[in-house]
Amino acid sequence: MATIFTKIINGDIPGRFVWNDDTCIAMMDIRPLHPGHLLVIPKVEIDQWTELDSDTAAHVMAVAHKIGKVMKELVPCERVGLLIAGFEVPHVHVHVVPMQTMAQLDFRNAEVSPRADALDDMAESVRGALKAAGHGDHVPAAGPL
């Protein structure tokens, strides 16, 4: 059965996309640990990051790096952290999280009901920042892919 991420990538479930290329997508997390928290997800449905081929793993990290750089400028934060856990969904995903402290990487503190307009606004800001940074070829319009 397809994971929820595959369903989102395929357009069966809506997502707030900020990046789309042949290998991966990035979208806003619907349970953010901090404003700006998003996920970079390979399109291939693989459970654990250690099972990714090295080219896909490197590409996902390169995209997370590009997004992290613009996020650092966009969201007031001490650092932009990365986390690969994989327990919530059996489909590799890298959490890119603007944060002030390590405590903000605790999923028990995730916002369970963020405002849709706040997520939409952040997605639009990230898309704009990525375009301004020269990544417009991979920035989708708002809405489904």
Q: Is 93 a catalytic residue?
A: yes
Contact 37, 30 (CB under 8 A): no
Residue linked to tokens 């996902």: 60
* CA–CA separation, 29 and 118 (whole Å): 12
Give the separation between CA 49 and CA 56, rounded to whole angstroms: 10
Number of residues written out for the chain: 145
User: Do the beta carbons of residue 26 and residue 39 sit within 8 Å?
Assistant: yes
- Catalytic pick among 93, 95, 135, 138: 93
Positions marked active-site? 93
